[in-house]
Each structure stands twice: as structure tokens, then as C-alpha cells.
Amino acid sequence: MKIAIIGVGYWGPNLTRNFAKHPDVESVVCFDLKKERLERVVKDFPGIDVASSYDQILRDKTINGVVIATPLSSHFELAKAALEQKKHVLIEKPMTGSTQEAAELIDLAEKNSCALMVDHTFVYNGAVQKMRDLIDSKEIGDILYYDAVRVNLGLFQGDINVVWDLAPHDISIMDFLLNKKPVAVSAVGWSHYDKYEDIAYVTMFFADNCIAHVHVSWLAPVKVRRILIGGSNKMIVYDDMEAFEKIKIYDKGVEVTTKEEVDKILVQYRMGDMYAPKFGTTEPLAAVANEFVESINARRKPLTDGVAGLNIIRILEAAEKSIKNKGLVVEL
């Protein structure tokens, strides 16, 4: 299999390294509009080929898969052109700038029998997969809330706000963990320096008793990567900044009874043990590369396929609309 990586800025070289070491990948060819980026890739990864144009990649019939790691504004056009040439496509998050574009790519991939995958890297993270096992096993109970914070002094992006940049991580983790989709979104955000919001608070409502919130910011003095998941039985804390024990399971919660004669609720706290489960530590991006290759080989849909990408774009689009309308609740 021959794989092309388009865009070798910050993230593209990580994809290049992981595809280059995959046993089923014979060769990797990179393309970037900036020559110096290609020169650096050649220096860092001996044996990697480079192309002089995207057209050269599209015309090369020996290239089976195209990986798009350019800024969001070019994802749709690059992916569409590759799918039209019947090449399998892996797109970086967020998949596209609109649900309409995402749906068009899904249809085109279907029509041309191509794999279409989105790099929701955290879905391939051992800690996230462990949390999914715990939730599926019912150990956590019914999920009452999902609360994520992803803030630091982040890199201001040139074409998107902080919601489109950072929230895809937390929303794709949520989409993978909870067996349900939100029914409405309300978001507020603020831009202090540029036209794009640099801080935002996104709330998602579900049809049942569950609520989710994602706080993203490029303006925090410290780096926080923390998700709290509250269940009716137990609660999970996932702190990605912890070197060890990134996931902690707390046997804590509340039990509520109603005292009918006084029409008052009685809340009792359950303070049980905490434990930190072990999980697999394979590099998530190696698992992403493997899933793309295996889905092509087996002619099956990848775990994070176009529809998974579209689910996230639908929420981001609604959040953007809500931000423009000062937190208006937007139905999904």
C-alpha cells in the first residue's frame, strides 16, 4: 500500500512517522505547499518521497490512500478530489467546515467504494477505550453528566475559532463513550484579540437525564485536559496531564429519598473507594494508521468513519450558530 500525506506542518509529520512504520505500507509520499516543510520531512524521515503538486498525487495510480493534515479550510476540496480519483481518504479533525460538505464526502466515498475516515485520535487512546469498557459494563451506571475542560495558552488558529480547534477532541470522546446523541446545543464564546473566539463554553442537552459541557480556551495560563463523567453508580475522572493513573474511578455518589410527610428530599452521600485501572498504552496515532490500513484491506468502514465525523460537525455548527446568538438553544 502507498500512502500520501498532504500537509506536513505540526501534525502531518506525526502521521508520516506512523504510516511509514506500518508493516503494510510500502511507501509514503508527502506534499505541502511550503517547500521548507517538505525539506524538513525528507531530513527527518529518510526514505520518504515528496511530490511537487497535489495533482501529481491524484494522478499516481499506485497511491491507495490520501491523508489530509492541512488546515480545515482546505479539507473538503482536497478530500473530494482524492475520492473522485477513487482513493481512500483519512481527514484530520474537524472533518469539514459544514455538515453539507461532510454529507457530500460520505456520499462520494460510498459511490466510489472508498474508505472515508476521520482522525478522532482520542477514540484510539487506551484511556478512552478503557472508559468505554467501564461504561459498557454498566459499572458506572446511567450517565448523568459529561464535563470536559481543555484549556491552555493555545496556538491561535488562522481560519477557525477555539471551538472548531479544540472541542472536536472532547465531543468525539463523548460521542464514542455515550451511547446517545445530544438533542440540542447552547454555547457562548468570546473573541478578545481576533475575529475568532478564543474562549468558549458549549453545553449539550440529551433527551434523557444527561447533560454535557465542554470548556475550551486558548487563553489559560495552565494546561488542563480533564474530563469528569458522573454516573448513577460511580464517577470517572480522566486527567490526561497525569503521568500515571490518568483514569480514576470513584465509588462516590448520592442517594436520594423523598420524605413524603414533609415533601422534602433527603440526600445521602456514598463515599466508597477509588481505584485507577490499567489500560493499553499503544500510541493512539499508530492505532489510527492501523485502522485506516485495515479498513482498506478488509473493505469495511473504519471505526471513526465519515458519519462519526459528521456527528461532530453537526454539533460544532450548532455551537457556532448559538455563539452568534448569545447562547440560543439550537436543536439538532
Ligand X SMILES: NC(=O)c1ccc[n+]([C@@H]2O[C@H](COP(=O)([O-])OP(=O)(O)OC[C@H]3O[C@@H](n4cnc5c(N)ncnc54)[C@H](O)[C@@H]3O)[C@@H](O)[C@H]2O)c1
The verdict on 74 binding ligand X (CB under 6 A) reads yes
Contact by Cβ (8 Å): 314, 332: yes
Give Cα 34 distance to the centre of its chain. 26
- Enumerate residues 97-156 that contact ligand X by CB under 6 A: 119, 121
Number of residues binding to ligand X, judged by CB under 6 A: 22
- Enumerate residues 185-214 that contact ligand X by CB under 6 A: none
Query: CB-wise, 54 or 76, nearer to ligand X?
Result: 54
Contact by Cβ (8 Å): 44, 13: yes
The verdict on 9 binding ligand X (CB under 6 A) reads yes
Q: Please, what is the Cα angle at 227 between 189 and 158, to 5 degrees?
A: 40
The verdict on 35 binding ligand X (CB under 6 A) reads no
Query: CB-wise, 69 or 127, nearer to ligand X?
Result: 69
Q: How far is the CB of 34 from ligand X (least distance, A)?
A: 4
Using DSSP's 3-state secondary structure scheme, residue 133 falls into helix
- Enumerate residues 256-275 that contact ligand X by CB under 6 A: none
Q: How many CB atoms lie within 10 A of CB 73?
A: 12
**DSSP secondary structure of 3-20:** EEEE--SSSHHHHHHHHH
Question: In the set 31, 218, 238, 250, which binds ligand X (CB under 6 A)?
Answer: 31
Distance between CA 152 and CA 250 in Å, rounded? 26
Distance between CA 222 and CA 139 in Å, rounded? 32
The verdict on 254 binding ligand X (CB under 6 A) reads no
Query: CB-wise, 139 or 240, nearer to ligand X?
Result: 240
Question: In the set 11, 205, 206, 279, which binds ligand X (CB under 6 A)?
Answer: 11
Q: Which residues bind ligand X (CB under 6 A)?
A: 6-12, 31-34, 37, 54, 69-72, 74, 92-93, 119, 121
